[in-house]
Amino acid sequence: MADLQQRIEALYRSDVRGAALLIICLWATILFVLFMTWPYIPDSGIKLVVAIAAAAVLIFNTAAIMAMVKHYKEDKDFIYGLDIKNADAFHNRKS
């Protein structure tokens, strides 16, 4: 049973790292596009709309990914335990 808990923790940590990487990539991409296109936006009203839209995308997507990670933490025994049992069953069938 300790082995199962270790495998669950390893999968959870991997998902947390992946979520963090996705958040970093999201912010880098949105900010890069915003800064690269900023000089080509002629109207200050449009600049404001673009900045608000970029902020909304960053805030809501970051919050969604963080909520996903929180849910994974709360139910990790069920989520990852099921994945591990299915992976083990698949591996045993192939053997």
pTM of the model: 0.82
What would the pLDDT profile of 50-77 be if each residue is shown by its tens digit? 999 999 999 999 999 999 999 999 999 9
pLDDT score of 94 more than 90: no
What pLDDT, on a 0 to 100 scale, did the predictor assign at position 1?
66
What pLDDT, on a 0 to 100 scale, did the predictor assign at position 2?
74
CA distance 11 to 77: 11
Domain ranges of the chain: 2-94
What would the pLDDT profile of 23-44 be if each residue is shown by its tens digit? 999 999 999 999 999 999 999 9
Contacts of 76 (CB under 8 A, 6+ apart): 8, 9, 11, 12
For 5-19, give the DSSP string.
Answer: HHHHHHHHHHHHHHH
